[in-house]
Amino acid sequence: MDKKPDLRGRTALVTGGNSGLGLEVARGLARRGARLLLPVRDTERGQQAVAALTATCPQAQISLLALDLASLESVSACAQAVAQQTDRLDFLINNAGVMAPAHRLETHDGFELQFGVNHLGHFALTAALRPLLEAADGGGTVVTVASLAAGRNTLHFDDLQSRHRYSPFGAYQQSKLANLLFSLELARRAAENGWNLHARAAHPGWASTAILANGQGATLPAPLGRIEQTLGGAVLRIMGQSAARGAEPLLYAALSPDARDGEYYGPQGAGERHGRPGPARIPPTARKPSLAARLWDISERLTSTSMG
């Protein structure tokens, strides 16, 4: 079991840490001695995650916080709660996500659910936590989780909220491209403005997690939903990898001495679907600084935040 680097005395926040990739990332950080802040929507599921983590990491220090990324009010309250728990944040793992609900859904603030949760919620959370990240020795590290899906769409600025046309996977792809663009732009602005933080992006390849069950399959009528979840899970298991393996690129981006700001990491196997972690291909669309800058400006306006 790899326990390097030693993270004792360091604090990490992982969104979506109660299951799947987030739980495995949290486990990897706890094994190395990090104190964990786990913001969750469901307290009961959060307590189950704490029990699972302490079963394998008995010495783990874990604090549950309340967070609903579909509510900007909740994001703000969570950031305030984090500031009451710690005076610095060494790692922020922007992991939680929603994948392809069959019908268009909205956040509490009226955003399309996937764009609102996957991108805007994390954008607002990162902005609110920036002072704590900059207070960390050597600067806190922000890892934003994108997806192979990020390379299969563009940003539809004339309909970011998918009000005129909703495609379950199209909206998911757009939100994941936004995650990647945000991470690259955060790294660029941090370097340009001298912010004491680090920004990297990562993707898990094809990881077998509950995100399918919580997405399109969960919104389809039975028995279609069960079929969708079963088939999707089978494909991921056969052609992809476990959640634990899928978490490795995220941990690599956060912890590896070879990881660099403004870079993207993922599995090194065929199609980046599975395998050991390393550099990932950045899709051409994500390499457009003008697109990233426009998304940043719109995200600040939509979330009423200013990160500079």
Residue 252 a catalytic site member: no
d(CA 261, CA 78): 26
Choose, from 172, 252, 264, 265, the residue flagged as catalytic: 172
Q: In what order do the strands lie in the sheet with 11-14?
A: 62-66, 35-40, 11-14, 91-94, 140-145, 197-202, 264-267, 277-279
Selection from 96, 97, 67 nearest residue 82 by Cα: 67
Other CB atoms within 10 A of residue 73 CB: 10
How far is 255 from 5, CA to CA, in rounded Å?
Answer: 7
Cα–Cα distance measured from residue 38 to residue 16, given in angstroms and rounded to the nearest whole number? 8
Contact predicate 60/100, CB 8 Å? no
Catalytic annotation, residues:
172
